[in-house]
Amino acid sequence: MLNNRGQMRTVEAFLAILLLFSAFGITTLISPASNVNNNNTLTTIGMQTLVSMNNDGQLGRLINEKNWTALADALDTLLPLGTSYNLTVYDENLQTINNVSITNGIIPNQNVISIQYPCASPTSQSSYYLLRLQLATAR
C-alpha cells in the first residue's frame, strides 16, 4: 500500500514538473512582443527619415530630377547602420518611375516592414509621388 502511494507521489511529481515546463514552453512560444516592437521602431525610423528628407523639399526635388543615386546616398546616410532598404517611387497614377533599384540589398528571410509616404515636389510644376520604403534589420 505504502509502495503504491510512493509510486503515485513520484508519478505526480513527474506530472507536475511536466506541467510546469509545458507552461514555460507555451509562454515562450506566445511572446512576439519584441518582434512587434522592432517593427514599430523600424516604421518610425523609416517615416522620420523620409520626413527629414522632405522637410526642406529636397526629397521631392531629387525625385523630380530622377536623381536616384543621390536619393540612395541620402538613405544610406540617414538610416541606421545594419538597416537594409528598398525604395520604390510611384507617380500620381501609381506607376513605378524609378528605372533603377534604390536599395542596399534586402536580405532574404528577414522581417521586412513597408511604409507608404506621400510626397509633393516644391517646384513650379507640382508633381505628386507615393514612396514605398521597405526596411529590414538583421534579427
Nearest-approach distance from CB 55 to another protein, in angstroms: 7
Q: At 31, list the grid cell.
A: 511572446
In the complex, what is the shortest distance from the CB of residue 105 to another protein, in angstroms, rounded to a whole number?
25
Question: Which range binds another protein by CB under 8 A, 20-28, 66-74, 80-88, 96-104?
Answer: 20-28
Q: What angle do CA 85, 82, 75 make, to 5 degrees?
A: 40
* 30 binds another protein, rule: CB under 8 A: yes
Q: What is the dihedral of CA 105, 110, 116, 120, to 10 degrees?
A: -20
Position among 47, 78, 102, 112 found at the interface with another protein (CB under 8 A): 47
Spatial separation of the C-alpha atoms in residues 5 and 111, rounded to whole Å: 53
SS3 81: coil
Which chain residues interact with another protein by CB under 8 A? Answer: 12, 15-16, 19-20, 22-24, 26-27, 30-33, 36-37, 40, 43-44, 47-48, 50-51, 54-55, 57, 60, 92, 116-126, 128, 130
